[in-house]
Amino acid sequence: MKRLTALLLLLIAAPPLRAETGTTALSFLKMDFGARSAAMGGAYCASGDDALAVFYNPAGTALVSRKEILLGHNEWLEGIRNESVAYVQPLEDSSISIFGGVNALLSGSMDKYDTTGKADGSFSSMEGAGSLGLAAGLGNGYYGGIAAKALSQSADGASAMAWAGDAGLLKVSGRLRFGLSASNFGSSMKLGTTAFSLPLMLRGGVSAAIANRIRVSADAVKAGETGVIGAFGAEAELPSNPHEAFYLRGGYRTGRSANAGPGFSAGLGLRSGDLRVDYAFVPYGDLGNAHRLTIAFSFGGRRPAPEEKLPYKMVQHRPGAAQTAPAAQQKKKKKQAEKKDEKASRPAYFTW
């Protein structure tokens, strides 16, 4: 059983080492990143409105109102670790956000076997991805985001690199959000003499806010060569005061194999001032359990949400300022002129 587990981990952590036709590189890009999204079953294409949106739908970063940095740690299976960092900076007086993200999968030491199945020492592997992009409001509740991405992999002394891109679209309509995103479209990754395609991730989702404190989400996800699976999640916010809140999350994901767990996930979160800490528990059946921890910190001034920006700005006329009127109005009756003088003392409005 121990040997079987090691072989399974080898397939998960270092797919380019397999010389099979049609396999994709960097399978870790199919994983969920961050505790909040993982606890919700990965249903984050439409609901993501924090720095985690970098990894799911870059358009969601346009909803971030303050600068935010996020650090994520994932104790995955059999000592394999996943580390992630994301940062979003909203630009003041605009709907534009710039962002970046880095995530890496570290295998640690693993046993190596030759073609006959005989033990042949040990090796380690590392897979990584770094992205940089921007998102902006497109008008009428639409938001778009794009990112350029550099990908790398090293295993047992061999290494490879590739380039890719991410793109996403988000529509906000009252309590509803609709999202579409495509990740990892780009060049193939060549290791030795063999080229492997990247795992193209296609997501489409919808999210709804219920009673201001509960959000439910559903995504359809196609990860690489696999079929379409469903991801479903919910989050409940339980505020104790305006600066502190407790979160309960749950999710379900279809498409799991018989020995990889039922697909359920759960998590908790705590927000205190500018700091948010999230935890997620995801069981993988015979392979073990994964524990994710994410810390997010917001800082800087707050950019008003689109619905909070007023279309008009009020100004007061200076006393004695000259008031002009068309010649036709000056010929009107004295009563109308008096009404006009009365209105001149009131605030005027102009579009900004």
What pLDDT tens digit does each residue of the chain (352 aa) get? Answer: 343 344 344 333 333 333 333 467 788 888 898 999 999 999 999 999 999 999 999 999 999 999 999 999 988 777 788 999 999 999 987 889 999 999 999 876 666 666 777 766 666 678 899 999 999 999 999 999 999 999 998 876 778 889 999 999 999 999 999 999 999 998 888 777 778 888 899 999 999 999 889 999 999 999 888 889 999 999 999 999 989 999 999 999 998 877 777 899 999 999 999 999 999 999 988 888 889 999 999 999 888 765 544 433 444 444 444 444 454 455 555 556 555 554 444 443 333 3
The dihedral over CA atoms of 338, 340, 344, 347, expressed in degrees to the nearest 10, equals 130
Same domain, yes or no: 321 and 294: no
Same domain, yes or no: 140 and 246: yes
Same domain, yes or no: 235 and 326: no
**Degrees to nearest 5, angle at CA 34 with 132 and 11:** 90
Same domain, yes or no: 281 and 343: no
Same domain, yes or no: 192 and 101: yes
Q: Report the number of distinct structural domains present in the chain.
A: 2
Rg over CA atoms, the chain: 26
What lies within 8 Å, CB to CB, of 246 at 6+ separation is 237, 238, 239, 240, 268, 269, 270, 271
* Angstrom distance (rounded) from CA 259 to CA 336: 84
Same domain, yes or no: 162 and 266: yes
* Angstrom distance (rounded) from CA 133 to CA 145: 7
Say how many C-beta atoms besides its own lie within 10 A of residue 27's C-beta: 19
Q: What is the pLDDT of residue 257?
A: 78
**Which CATH number goes with the domain that contains 25?**
2.40.160.60
Same domain, yes or no: 177 and 49: yes
Q: How far apart are the first and last CA of the chain?
A: 68
Same domain, yes or no: 38 and 83: yes
Same domain, yes or no: 213 and 336: no
pTM (2 d.p.): 0.77
Same domain, yes or no: 64 and 139: yes
Same domain, yes or no: 302 and 320: no
* Angstrom distance (rounded) from CA 233 to CA 218: 6
Same domain, yes or no: 59 and 142: yes
Per-position b or e across 149-184, b if 16+ CB within 10 A of its CB: bebbbbbeeeebebebbbbbbbbbeeeebbbbbbbb
- The residue out of 274, 293, 308 marking a domain boundary is 308
Q: What is the overall mean pLDDT for the chain?
A: 81
Q: Which of 89, 56, 51, 49 is nearest to 71 (CA)?
A: 51
Cβ atoms of residues 187 and 196 within 8 Å: no
Domain housing 328: 314-351
CA distance to 36, 64, 117, 165, 178, per residue, from 48 (Å): 9, 10, 44, 19, 11
